[in-house]
Structure 1
């Protein structure tokens, strides 16, 4: 009886320890990670096909005046917003995907690039004022104003993930 108990105990220990052993070096992953950057880019180009992949983590539109930058995890932060650009971030604290504009184009739609209702933080590194709107309500409403050379690491709870388009005041 003691031998049988010892064998069963040893078997349980081995079975419990097996999942902790490393996989063989030649093992292939079964499926890509959910935040795989190339998968995100492929989906972006399928949903918004006017873009071109211009780096391992970026898709450009309008001859580079608009870019979407992808990150590999929700905790990762995209590169800082370029000077003379304004950026919208998918997550608070400038995290997640980043949508960058490098022009002064009056009204522009975030939805044209898959960013409708997706902004939680922003940076305005231009000399222009930007007004951001929610068009999902009638009449549409101003959510916030971005002064020149300003930023918000977190938009208010009332405006989080509601931005659809913006207007840039391109005066001198």
Structure 2
């Protein structure tokens, strides 16, 4: 190989690496833009990691897929710290669970497992547990509006890891949250320890609010 060809190949390699780096940076910027949009459209949210937002000290956490990914990853350490606090379990018990070989970070759907307490439930932006993951673990007898988390009409799949029943409803009047209270449209019920990879075409992107059993 002559010197001219060597320089040509080197130039192509450098250009390819630079293009890949620029593409990754663009994807990362897009992720931050999505997070910024949710923060701007909601109240009380705090970004706790490069891809997560928490509300009310971790009572609700939204996780975004990382750049170039389609599924949100298992909880970051920052989210784990909030989850253990919300569930009332110690960090030592989590470490013990790991050493005992119990599943810690996630099952196939990445909703926090029972190691963090027996009540985590998650909603997903896309079917097959893809896109953004919005999760809770507390009892909510009062209706929770997805509009508070910029997640109106964005649920395509769900996972209920805990012992509660989750009741998901739609608004009878578009753009009016109180219609979830006054005349809700019942969409589906989530039994304890169940999940659904797709809610079905008739229910896709229809969820506006939910409440739970004790």
TM-score normalised by the shorter chain: which range applies?
0.7 to 0.9
Q: Which residues of 2 match residues 110-149 of structure 1 at below 5 A?
A: 110-137=146-173, 139-149=183-193
- 1:127-164 deviations in Å (ceiling 9; x for gaps): 11111001144742111000011100100111000000
CA RMSD for the aligned pairs? Answer: 2.7
- 1:54-96 deviations in Å (ceiling 9; x for gaps): 1121000011110110113462344211132110000000000
Is 2:161 aligned against 1:98? no
CA distance in 1, matches of 2:197, 2:186: 19
Gaps of at least 5 residues in structure 1 are 1-20
CA contact (8 A) 1:122 1:151 kept: yes
CA contact (8 A) 1:127 1:149 kept: yes
TM-aligned CA deviation for residue 24 of structure 1: 7.6
TM-aligned CA deviation for residue 26 of structure 1: 6.6
Gaps of at least 5 residues in structure 2 are 1-11, 75-109, 174-178
User: Whose strand fraction is larger, Structure 1's or Structure 2's?
Assistant: 1
CA contact (8 A) 2:71 2:131 kept: yes
Aligned to 1:42: 36
CA distance in 2, matches of 1:24, 1:169: 54
Larger radius of gyration: 1
Is 2:71 aligned against 1:76? yes
Aligned to 1:32: 26
Tell me: CA distance 1:89–1:24, structure 2 relative to 1, closer, same or farther (3 Å): closer
Aligned to 1:167: 211
- Count of aligned pairs between the two proteins: 152
The TM-score, its normalising length taken from structure 1, stands at 0.77
Q: Secondary structure at the match of 1:36?
A: helix
Tell me: CA distance 1:135–1:78, structure 2 relative to 1, closer, same or farther (3 Å): farther
Q: Which residues of 2 match residues 149-164 of structure 1 at below 5 A?
A: 149-164=193-208
